[in-house]
Amino acid sequence: MSTTTPISCGATHSDGRRVVIVGGGQAAGAALKRLRQLDYPGPITLVSDEAQLPYERPPLSKEYLRGVERDLRWIAPGERLNEQLTINRAAVAGDAGARTITCDDGTQLPYDFLLLATGGTPRRLATPGAELDNVHCLRRANDAVALRQSIEKCAQARQRLLVIGGSWIGLEVAAGAREAGVEVTVVEQEEQLCGRTLPASAARWLQALHVSRGVDVRLGTSVVSLDGNREVRSARLSNGALLPVGAVIAGIGIAPNTLLAQRLGVLVRSGIVVDRHCRSSIPEIYAAGDVAEQACSWHENSLRIETWENANRQGETAATHIAGLAGIGTHPPVPDHEPPPWFWSDQYDMNLQVLGAPTCCDAVLASPSSESGRLFVHLRGGLVVGAIGINRPREIRRLRKQLTERPNLPRSELLQQGLGLPLVFPLKGKEHA
Ligand SMILES: Cc1cc2nc3c(=O)[nH]c(=O)nc-3n(C[C@H](O)[C@H](O)[C@H](O)COP(=O)(O)OP(=O)(O)OC[C@H]3O[C@@H](n4cnc5c(N)ncnc54)[C@H](O)[C@@H]3O)c2cc1C
């Protein structure tokens, strides 16, 4: 692994076409792994501006944050002879005509295929006081270490953690902090938690879970200012309340890192626009992961999907296509339909899994509310478009397989197909405003 050695022409292996991967996250790691599986013989250069090679991010807000795990989970460990894996270096410019990218130390990397897997950067708070110490975001390993220390300090000093943004990362941090004995307030400016990904009924269930574990959840509320002397000490809320706090975490979304793509002249909308092979508007340039915008039949939209599974799948898809064009392996047959999107979250003793596009539903079936878990199945026009399982991994696994094989699954076939779903009452009406 190279950290400081200048590189002028990527990895030096002479056999095959040069692949440059920009980014050191999930999609980059998945692409590298896939190229290795295919025994890609050409030179592969990976450029990451992080201090580590690709590692898994989900534990950062779970086991790693709680200190249960201290080591990062590597995605594609090691380095092969035809690879040059470079950390602490950013790709800052590119010339699509000359097929080169330029790094922040001035080195130029020529490519035959370029994969942009640059992910996103956490949105910063725009409120006064956002620059105070103990105001955190969470994207990288060092963010998690700093946040863990702040949570430990809050526990010792009996201070409150303020979570700004009631979405997945904020709620996972809230759960971890509660388990460490810290008082937690979550403020969310919208009228429900996880508004982008959850329909109202599931969001209410999640809210009740957090309230039952002692979290002070305030919807329709924002933070007007943070105050303190070097370290944050209090937060002024939009309803006028002054909240004493020991630390703050802002989980208010990410902005996709599209600057390099723009400099290369690639089409960018909400992200880098790619086709089903993850190819951008410039054929030899690919994009994958949180930075990529792709058509999704489940959402009936072209969008960026910010999940672990999507980053893996798109990274693998891009690598497989690149290898196929280079004459390595074969292009696998493109399935008639896309597998449903899927992600999970772990909070307290609960495993939540979200399948398909539940927010696109017009009706919901649900199992009875219980503290141990719940299953929601989301319908549109009588067809299953999504599901949410709370401690229901078996049912979600079966449904995922089912919807991967046959996307237009009618409601009437749920039980006939042997899913054994305890569907007891339909919730009528449009769930998602
Ligand atoms: C704390 C946390 C917890 C999560 N938990 C879950 C979960 O439970 N379930 C789930 O489904 N998803 C989860 N996710 C989401 C999932 O991890 C992301 O969707 C996934 O990491 C996206 O992968 P990516 O490769 O697109 O981006 P990233 O993993 O962010 O990687 C992008 C990489 O590119 C680098 N980079 C950017 N620009 C440049 C440049 N110009 N030059 C060089 N390098 C550059 C970045 O530093 C970074 O290393 C979580 C995310 C986080 C942050």
Contact 345 CB / ligand 1 (< 6 Å): yes
Whether residue 178 sits in one domain with residue 81: no
Confidence of residue 416 (pLDDT cuts 50, 70, 90): low
Note the pLDDT of residue 374: 86
Whether residue 97 sits in one domain with residue 186: no
Whether residue 259 sits in one domain with residue 244: no
Give the residue-averaged pLDDT of 45-69: 95
Contact 119 CB / ligand 1 (< 6 Å): yes
Whether residue 258 sits in one domain with residue 233: no
Residue 164 in any domain: the answer is yes
Whether residue 115 sits in one domain with residue 82: yes
Q: How far is the CA of 119 from the centre of ligand 1 (A)?
A: 5
Note the pLDDT of residue 370: 73
Which of 274, 309, 325 marks a domain boundary? Answer: 325
Answer whether residue 431 shows pLDDT above 70. Answer: no
Which amino acid type is present at position 371? E
List the structure tokens of 317.
Answer: 């898809």
Residue 341 in any domain: the answer is no
Tell me how many domains the chain contains.
3
pLDDT in tens, 320-333: 999 999 888 776 66
Note the pLDDT of residue 417: 53
- Any idea what the CATH number is for the domain that residue 290 is in? 3.50.50.60
Q: How far is the CA of 245 from the centre of ligand 1 (A)?
A: 29
The runs of H, that is alpha helices, within 16-159 are 26-37, 63-66, 141-157
Enclosing H/E stretch for 288: none
Atom of ligand 1 nearest to the CA of 289: 26
Residue 343 in any domain: the answer is no
Residue 339 in any domain: the answer is no
Q: How far is the CA of 366 from the centre of ligand 1 (A)?
A: 32
Q: How far is the CA of 196 from the centre of ligand 1 (A)?
A: 18
Answer whether residue 193 shows pLDDT above 50. Answer: yes
Whether residue 242 sits in one domain with residue 178: yes
**Burial (CB count within 10 angstroms: exposed 0-12, middle 13-18, buried 19+), residue 394:** exposed
Residue 129 in any domain: the answer is no
- Any idea what the CATH number is for the domain that residue 376 is in? 3.30.390.30
Contact 260 CB / ligand 1 (< 6 Å): yes
Answer whether residue 418 shows pLDDT above 90. Answer: no
Note the pLDDT of residue 8: 36
Q: How far is the CA of 51 from the centre of ligand 1 (A)?
A: 14
Structural domain of 389: 349-426
Note the pLDDT of residue 3: 45
Closest residue by Cα to atom 45, ligand 1, is 23
Answer whether residue 9 shows pLDDT above 80. Answer: no
Contact 109 CB / ligand 1 (< 6 Å): no
* CA distances (Å), origin 402, targets 335, 339, 386, 407: 14, 10, 12, 8
Give the residue-averaged pLDDT of 163-182: 98
* CA distances (Å), origin 391, targets 44, 343, 349, 356, 399: 41, 13, 9, 17, 14
Is the Cβ–Cβ distance between 390 and 355 less than 8 Å?
no
Which of 235, 250, 265 marks a domain boundary? Answer: 250
Contact 257 CB / ligand 1 (< 6 Å): yes
Whether residue 412 sits in one domain with residue 379: yes
Grouping H, G, I as helix, E, B as strand and the rest as coil, residue 359 is helix
pLDDT in tens, 236-272: 999 999 999 999 999 999 999 999 999 999 999 999 9
Residue 432 in any domain: the answer is no
Give the residue-averaged pLDDT of 41-61: 97
Note the pLDDT of residue 390: 93
Q: What angle do CA 125, 126, 129 make, to 5 degrees?
A: 80
Whether residue 266 sits in one domain with residue 288: yes
Whether residue 245 sits in one domain with residue 139: yes
Residue 1 in any domain: the answer is no
Contact 47 CB / ligand 1 (< 6 Å): yes
Q: How far is the CA of 251 from the centre of ligand 1 (A)?
A: 14
Whether residue 109 sits in one domain with residue 258: yes
Which of 325, 340, 365 marks a domain boundary? Answer: 325
| Letter string b/e over residues 245-281, b meaning 16 or more CB atoms within 10 A of that residue's CB | bbbbbbbbebebbbebbebbebebeebbbbeebbbbb
Whether residue 273 sits in one domain with residue 202: no
Q: How far is the CA of 181 from the centre of ligand 1 (A)?
A: 29
Confidence of residue 421 (pLDDT cuts 50, 70, 90): low
Note the pLDDT of residue 55: 97
pLDDT in tens, 263-308: 999 999 999 999 999 999 999 999 999 999 999 999 999 999 999 9
Whether residue 261 sits in one domain with residue 116: yes
Task: Give percent of the chain above pLDDT 90.
Answer: 79
Contact 122 CB / ligand 1 (< 6 Å): no
Grouping H, G, I as helix, E, B as strand and the rest as coil, residue 383 is strand
Residue 433 in any domain: the answer is no
